[in-house]
């Protein structure tokens, strides 16, 4: 019976260590996604949209739009993940989500919300 308890304790200890590493990794991933998603947003609206409508070049807009869409979905997913793991207040998580819809928004929320959160560890 005591061997079973030791195994259970060991499994929980390993799980807690793994969760902490995953928690930190997920925050770092969200920060990187925010920066890359912000760059793709600016590229999409600042470069490829004018190319599409002013020079009738549709391909760059399609490619960057596709990449931006994938990054946006990943950013939203990781925001919910970090919200749950760090027990963020709902208003902070909403700010993170809304910031992804605004030019330079993810850069601001990275500096104001995510970077201080990473420093607390």
**Whole-number average pLDDT of the chain:** 89
- Greater model confidence, 4 or 107: 107
Phi (first) and psi of residue 57, to 5 degrees: -105, 100
Number of independent structural domains in the chain: 1
Residue 13 lies in a domain: yes
The whole-model pTM stands at: 0.81
Euclidean distance between CA atoms 42 and 102, whole angstroms: 10
Residue 121 lies in a domain: no
Least confident of 5-9, 33-37, 68-72, 117-121: 5-9
For the chain, what percent of residues have pLDDT higher than 70?
83
Range of the domain at 93: 2-116
Q: Compute, in degrees rounded to 10, the torsion defined by CA atoms 96, 99, 101, 106.
A: -100
Res 14: pLDDT = 52
- The Cβ of residue 9 has, within 10 Å, a number of other Cβ atoms equal to 10
Q: How confident is the model at residue 108 (pLDDT cuts 50, 70, 90)?
A: very high
Euclidean distance between CA atoms 31 and 37, whole angstroms: 10
E strand or H helix at 13 = helix 2-43
Reported as a single tens digit per residue, the pLDDT across 44-86 is 999 999 999 999 999 999 999 999 999 999 999 999 999 999 9
Euclidean distance between CA atoms 3 and 62, whole angstroms: 59
Residue 62 lies in a domain: yes
Residue 57 lies in a domain: yes
């Amino acid at each position: 019976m005591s061997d079973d308890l030791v195994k259970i304790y060991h499994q929980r200890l390993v799980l807690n260590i793994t969760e902490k590493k995953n928690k930190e990794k997920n925050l770092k991933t969200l920060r990187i996604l925010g920066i890359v998603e912000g760059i793709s947003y600016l590229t999409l609206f600042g470069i490829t949209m004018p190319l599409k409508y002013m020079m009738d070049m549709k391909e760059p807009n399609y490619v960057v739009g596709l990449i931006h869409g994938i990054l946006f979905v990943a950013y939203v997913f990781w925001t919910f993940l970090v919200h749950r793991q760090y027990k963020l207040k709902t208003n902070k998580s909403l700010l993170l989500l809304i910031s992804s819809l605004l030019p330079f928004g993810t850069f601001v929320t990275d500096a104001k919300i995510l970077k201080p959160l990473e420093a607390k560890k």
